[in-house]
Structure 1
Amino acid sequence: MNTPLKIKLCLVALDNEYISIGLRKMAAIARKAYPDCDFLNIIPKNIRSKEDLRLIAERIAIANVACFSLMTAHAETAKDIIAAAKALNPNLFIVWGGVHAILCPEDVIKHADAVCVGEGEKAFPQLLTAIERGISYHSIGNFWFRDGDMIIKNGFLPLNTPEEMSGFPFHLFMDNEMLFVSGLGFIPFRGQDFIKAKGLFYTTIWSIGCPNRCTYCSNSKFVKNDAKYGKIRYPSVRYIIDEIKHVLNKYPYLSAVTFVDDGFMSIPLNVLKEFADLWKKEVNIPFSVGGIIPAYVNEEKINTLVRAGLVRMRMGIQSGSDNILKFYQRPNRPGIIQEATKIIGKYTPYTLPPNYDIILDNPIETRDDIIRTLELVYNLPRPFTLYLFSLRVIPNTQLAIDLKERGISIPDINSSFHCLTPTLANVLVVILVFIKLPRRIFDRLLKDAYPATVKQKTYPRLLNLLMKLYRYRVICYELLNLEISWMGGQKALLLSKLGINKLFRNAVMRRVSKIQKHNTFSVEAHEHA
């Protein structure tokens, strides 16, 4: 029997992007029982000295239960903070959840008392209740526990059902939060601070799960833990619409919403139509969707969402080579990427140029693989933008296992995946974003395109210059399309105060409404013909 404890709770988000949606969900649940619990935003790159570490540790050590959530790239920073806080308060109970905890529980349990290895919406409040009442918590599912030298590994709870998800509180957003500032410590993190730091948009997730099993993604581990994670689950349309309305009632100056679901487009068409109708009637601001899977792109889904306000799309292509896509275990059939990009490309008069993800610098790529990717990019419908990533390994994913079996070592996720090898092939990928070269020139350049593993001449200055020009190009596209939600700093604050962002927001919605009128006209004309 443990001693009952009056809980003083602290939730710590280590995230350079201020997102941490998982921990924000836990905060919303926890604040129902512990309304005074701290929510601390820490930007890892802002920890610049031992004094900063001390300031962070002192604030956390005031609590008796501290909960951390973070990605693998910030794991070492979390360990340093935990050690410093425990030095000040040896009785501090550490709970560690999030992606890194699920991927690497064996590593995390060395530094925490409890590790959440699954969904926390039901398990986390059970743990807090047990601690508060002084009863045993060692059998709670979705958790590993450290009890002296003994590690207790519990099984997984059933995944949250759509009905349960529709009953959870909306995740925390700019509600009595604190922000760490180097040299100062923690200060109140207000809405206007978020605008200056991040921009005029709200980030959320509607659906959970992913039908793909891509080896480089953390989802490959989630599916190993529970095969049902591969099935898309989501709360009701009413729930997600009410969530957005709740945020807009508090912060009406927000210009857009970003959905970062892994498989948004795999939501059934009838549900997306219900969403689009309610969005247009009750929200009516632009939104963007990431995590678009080519296999789930069809004309009716894209048309439905664009008419509702979808202005920015991001889709994973990753490679133009069937060989590499098979290596990633990424579903692919002949022509699927071309079909998806053709459909998306039809709507660029109403949206921003689509973003397509490409993974470069794969050590198993052959010259043929490189050329196939370049040919794919060369033939993409224009305009478009590319998110280019140098392949990095997330620990305990299938990719990490596959590369180890091949005896291949590449940098892990702690190394920047934006640092591309300055080969001619990579330079050519960036050039193709700007211009479709004459076929004759393109064919000539292809002759000197080789994988990054081949010894060759490199072009670091040229690549650096092109990447800078590319960023300016993206900004120009956004300004031309009146899309300013990405804009941070004092400019964003001024735009929100003057109401200019609302004018731009309304102009974007008027633009997408034209496609509805155009389609209605086309259908009527067809029926009369």
Structure 2
Amino acid sequence: MNLCSEADKKKIVLISSDRSLVGMGPKILSSCLIEQGFKPTIVLMESDGDDFRNFLWKDLEDICNGASLIGISSMTAGVKKAVEIKKHLKNKCSAPIIIGGIHASLSPESLINDFEMLCHGEGEDLIVDLARRLANNEPYDNIPGLWLNNSGRIVKNQSAPLKRDLNDYPFPDYDLRHQFILEENRLVPVTPKPTHMRLDSFSIMGSRGCPHNCTYCCSPKMIQEFPWQKKVRHYSIDYLISHLKEVRRIYPEVRRFWIEDDTFFAKGFDEILNFSQRYKSEVGIPFEVLISPWTFSRDKIKVLVDAGMDKLIIGIQSGSENVARNIYNRNISNEKILEIIKSLHEFSGMAVCYDFIVMNPFETQEDLIYTIQLIKSFPAPFIVYSNSLAFYPGTKIYDMAVKAGIAVKGRMEYTEITHGYKILRNAKMRHKIFHLIILLMGGSGNNIKIGQVRRSFISDRFISFYSFLNKRLGLISDFIVSMIAGVFLFDARFKKTLRNILGDRTYLKLRKLLKP
């Protein structure tokens, strides 16, 4: 066995296996470790596939060489890759490896057999305590929230609340000098300019948790697992504004912020007003937020628009009140939703985006038609975001799907439209023609078309025709839609590959040149 050299007791490696370059979990933990004198390295192993085929593993081995602890952060979609990383490093490095992230908290039993350590719950205190005890050669088998696999003997230490208020923890670690990213199957140091980040939509959290109980969301399960946590824990406005200013200081290239709270309007009006006044004077670049219909407030929108909010996302999820109430546990009428939408469109200069969940196998033909009709009724212009329904372990809808015999494998990510095509092509679902129409309606909506669909093709007459095809020729119709989805999937993947090869600027120039 080619073990790494003797460990540097202060060296920690934090790896993200998620399909994202944000890596907020490792960055939060890194700042906590730095605060206590440790020397963390962050590795963002974002990749499109579900494995690391053709990856040069020696790059990761070299980074981990001499580390005293290796941490892997993973959401559900990145678990397979997290296990792959662990299995490889196990035979190359002597440092213990711990898995953490939302999946480890929601479904620890599914991971503990693959890892020797697991963080169950928030990791800010745990990672520092574990690193300190390892550095001092002290026992660590009683750390709150730490699960251990000692050759098959599982130790489950009860999790505990964070020792400090959220506002007393440091900002995430944005120092690029000890970060690596995956590019063309190699791990390379991050360049001084954050070209790998979304500078036009830099993500920051203003709170943790959600006040609602939607069946597809992990928040209710998190409250069940960790009952001492409030449904929503807000960062103070002082902390949030200081955080935003710190990002602008470190990355002056950032052009706008995406404040990624589950619902930003869970904050009271006085907090929103305070934030708006300070954001306008101290930060001063455009930003966007996500809200829910229940937290909608015209007064809150008014002060935020004045502060620079140029985009608002509101979760609708389905045009069927049956699905909203009985499948998603979202008790709100379409009448109320349309009332809110009418108010939203009174604010000029603010893009309005409506979030919908697609590829839901519980939906009937009537449910799907209700969604099409609701979207058609929105005043233009608007944007539709289509996100495929994910069955995350620990959520109520996951249990509903398993009970109904629905295949949940491959349905554990809430992601871009190409995943919807993949589901349409492969999954055993009914009413595929309507699922495809709604999927294609994702995008900008105007008086001519919605997404890629011309309004004339979703007129009442065409809807009746699609209903006839679905009822009388269901199997044939579903087969044809599966083939069409395969073509769309190939086209989307080809465009993404071409863009990666040519680069954004050359790709966009080529598209403009070839556009008829």
TM-score with structure 2 length normalisation? 0.81
Equivalence for 2:370: 372
Q: Confirm or deny: 8 A CA contact 1:44 1:74 kept in the other structure.
A: no
The corresponding residue for 2:342 is 342
Partner of 2:324: 325
The residue aligned with 2:35 is 32
CA distance in 2, matches of 1:391, 1:449: 23
Counterparts of 1:392-471 in structure 2 under 5 Å? 392-413=390-411, 417-419=419-421, 421=424, 423-429=432-438, 430-431=440-441, 433-434=445-446, 435=448, 442-449=459-466, 454-457=474-477, 458-459=480-481
Task: Name the aligned partner's letter for residue 328 of structure 1.
Answer: I
Aligned equivalent of 1:150, options 125, 129, 153: 153
Whether 2:129 is the aligned partner of 1:109: answer no
Distance of 2:104 and 2:474 partners within structure 1: 37
Structure 2 CA distance for partners of 1:262 and 1:83, relative to 1, 3 Å: same
Q: CA deviation at 1:302?
A: 1.1
Among 7, 11, 14, the alignment partner of 1:11 is: 14
Change (3 A) 1:212 1:186: same
Inter-partner Cα distance in structure 2 for 1:159 and 1:327: 35
User: SS at the partner of 1:122?
Assistant: helix
The residue type equivalent to 2:88 in the other structure is A
Distance 1:200 1:446 in 2: 38
- 1:83 and 2:94 are equivalent in the alignment: no
The letter of the residue matching 1:383 is: P
Cα distance per residue 1:124-146 (max 9 Å; x no partner): 22222222223222222222122
Checking the alignment, whether the CA contact within 8 Å between 2:402 and 2:408 is kept in structure 1 is: no
User: Judging changes above 3 Å, is the alpha-carbon distance between structure 1 residues 31 and 428 closer, same or farther for their aligned structure 2 residues?
Assistant: same
- Residue from 108, 121, 124 that aligns with 1:121: 124
Superposition CA RMSD, Å:
3.2
Q: Paired residue for 2:75, among 71, 77, 84?
A: 71
Cα distance in 1 for partners of 2:182, 2:196 equals: 14
Percent identity over the alignment is: 25
Question: Aligned partner of 1:96: which letter?
Answer: I
Amino acid at match of 1:400: Y
- The 1-side partners of 2:137 and 2:66 are apart by 20
Alpha-carbon shift at residue 372 of structure 1 (Å): 1.4
What secondary structure sits across from 1:238 in the alignment?
helix
Q: Does residue 24 of structure 2 align to residue 21 of structure 1?
A: yes
Q: CA deviation at 1:75?
A: 1.1
| Aligned residue type for 1:110 | N
Quick one: which amino acid aligns to residue 61 of structure 2?
A
CA distance in 2, matches of 1:181, 1:5: 24
CA positional deviation for 1:332: 2.0
d(CA) in 2 for partners of 1:431, 1:170: 39
Partner of 1:498: none
Alpha-carbon distance, 1:337 to partner = 2.0
Instruction: Quote the Cα distance in structure 2 between the aligned partners of 1:214 and 1:392.
Output: 13
Residue pair 1:341, 1:380 contacting (<8 A) in 2 also: yes
Deviates more, 1:240-249 or 1:419-428: 419-428
Amino acid across the alignment from 1:239: Y
The whole-number CA distance in structure 2 between the counterparts of 1:469 and 1:295 is 38
Task: Say yes or no: does 1:384 pair with 2:382.
Answer: yes
Q: Partners in 1 of 2:337 and 2:168 — Cα distance?
A: 37
Residues 358, 389 of structure 1: 8 Å contact kept: yes
How many equivalent pairs are there?
Answer: 465
Secondary structure at the counterpart of residue 135 of structure 1: coil
User: Structure 1 residues 264-273 or 99-108, which shifts more?
Assistant: 99-108
Contact 2:15 / 2:44 at 8 angstroms: preserved in 1? yes
1:427-460 alpha-carbon deviations (Å, 9 max, x no partner): 5433593536779971112224458995352457
The amino acid across from 1:381 in the alignment is P
CA distance in 2, matches of 1:220, 1:308: 32
Query: 132, 136, 140: which one pairs with 2:139?
Result: 136
Give unpaired runs (5+ residues) of structure 1: 471-487, 493-529
Distance 2:365 2:273 in 1: 44
Q: Aligned in 2, Cα 1:230/1:378: closer, same or farther, shift over 3 Å? A: farther
Given that 1:65 and 1:94 are in contact with CA atoms closer than 8 Å, whether structure 2 keeps it comes out as yes
Query: Larger relative contact order (C-alpha < 8 A, sep ≥ 6)?
Result: 1
Larger displacement relative to structure 2 (11-20 or 66-75): 11-20
Equivalent residues in 2 for 1:160-309 (5 A)? 164-182=165-183, 185-192=186-193, 194-195=194-195, 198-227=198-227, 229=229, 231-290=231-290, 292-309=291-308
Q: How far 1:232 sits from its partner (Å)?
A: 1.5
Deviates more, 1:106-115 or 1:410-419: 410-419
Q: Deviations over 1:154-182 (max 9, x none)?
A: 22212577xx1111111012432332445
Cα distance in 2 for residues equivalent to 1:343 and 1:468: 40
Give distance in 2, aligned partners of 1:181 and 1:444: 50
Match of 1:476 in 2: none
Please list the CA deviations of residues 38-85 of structure 1 after superposition, one character each: whole Å capped at 9, or x if unmatched.
111212338754552343234224312001111111111111111111
Matched position secondary structure for 1:418: helix
Are residues 1:95 and 2:98 paired? yes
TM-score (norm: length of structure 1) = 0.79
What does the per-residue CA deviation read over 1:340-359, in whole Å, with 9 as the maximum and x for residues that have no partner?
Answer: 32222222x2122x221212
SS at match of 2:97: strand
